[in-house]
Chain A
Amino acid sequence: QKEVEQNSGPLSVPEGAIASLNCTYSDRGSQSFFWYRQYSGKSPELIMSIYSNGDKEDGRFTAQLNKASQYVSLLIRDSQPSDSATYLCAVNQAGTALIFGKGTTLSVSS
């Protein structure tokens, strides 16, 4: 069974620090990797997508992918209290459903 694993947290970081969120996946054929942010009571919001090995940066967010290790991570630089949310890792192959991890709760303290 295809699985996506995340540490549920909570991950607590002080304001201004770097938050590091990690995700591993079981299906070696996975091709697309996504990070969603979900505030309590709200819908998942796409913040990053990554398709090839290496780093992808977008503002304060950097996604890192290592297909050999079946590992994807999200770094949030200069963390803000508004970044406090649950971060969902999602993975799929072409034409298949997104498989979500159970999410990591991030708490940024001011």
Chain B
Amino acid sequence: DTAVSQTPKYLVTQMGNDKSIKCEQNLGHDTMYWYKQDSKKFLKIMFSYNNKELIINETVPNRFSPKSPDKAHLNLHINSLELGDSAVYFCASSQALAPYEQYFGPGTRLTVT
């Protein structure tokens, strides 16, 4: 069974489009995260939700909007995509907020042309 899953795995789209990435975890965890890994492989937190409540919102353009319909799901919607949004987006989950261990999904490679 996949613990943290994401769809789609690859996403190729044009500038200006709107797209969504979905994440689901079956670990029974309370906390979920979105991370962005850029072309230099630097992994950075974007958002964190705990029990469907937004806890961490790093300096991210407001074109990015996370939504957590329930504890097991965390989606990321991106409006007006830009070239600089091209990256790999990882979803992760943990039992609760830090210091608990985080487990990552397989990632979504977004390419904006």
Name A's B-contacting residues (CB within 8 A).
31-32, 34, 36, 38, 42-46, 49, 51, 86, 88, 92-100, 102-103
How many residues does chain B have at the interface if contact means C-beta atoms less than 8 Å apart?
A: 22
Whether a CB of chain A sits under 8 angstroms from the CB of B64 is no
A8 CB to closest chain B CB (Å) equals: 9
* Contact, CB under 8 Å: B107 / A43: yes
Q: Is the CB of A44 within 8 A of B43?
A: yes
Q: A94-B97, A97-B45, A100-B42 given. 7 additional CB < 8 A pairs?
A: A42-B107, A43-B90, A44-B43, A95-B97, A97-B98, A98-B102, A100-B43
Shortest beta-carbon distance from B92 to chain A in Å: 8
Chain A residue nearest to B97 (CB atoms) is A95
Contacts of B97 in A (CB 8 A): 94-95
Complexed CA–CA distance, A98 and B48 (Å): 10
Q: A43-B90, A43-B106, A97-B48 are in contact. Are A86 and B101 (CB under 8 A)?
A: no
**B residues whose Cβ falls under 8 Å from a Cβ of A:** 33, 40-45, 48, 55-56, 58, 90, 97-99, 101-107
Known contacts A46-B101, A96-B56; A102/B107 CB under 8 A: no
Q: Are B98 and A32 in contact (CB under 8 A)?
A: yes
- Which residue of chain A lies nearest to B96 when distances are taken between CB atoms in the complex? A95
Contact B43 A96 (CB under 8 A): no
User: Are B99 and A92 in contact, CB atoms less than 8 angstroms apart?
Assistant: yes
**Most chain-A CB neighbours within 10 Å: which of B41, B44, B103?**
B41
**Set of chain B residues within 8 Å of A51, measured between Cβ atoms:** 99
**Most interface-central of B43, B58, B106, B107 (chain A CB within 10 A):** B43
Query: Which residue from B40, B55, B56, B104 sits with its C-beta under 8 Å from A43?
Result: B104
> Which residue of B45, B99, B103 has the most chain A CB atoms within 10 A of its CB atom?
B99
- What chain A residues lie within 8 Å of B98 (beta carbons)? 31-32, 92-98
Task: Determine the residue in chain B with the shortest Cβ distance to A105.
Answer: B41
Question: In whole angstroms, how far apart are the Cα atoms of A38 and B105 in the complex?
Answer: 12
Nearest CB in chain A: distance from B27 CB, A: 13
Query: How long is the Cα–Cα vector from A99 to B102 in the complex, in angstroms?
Result: 12
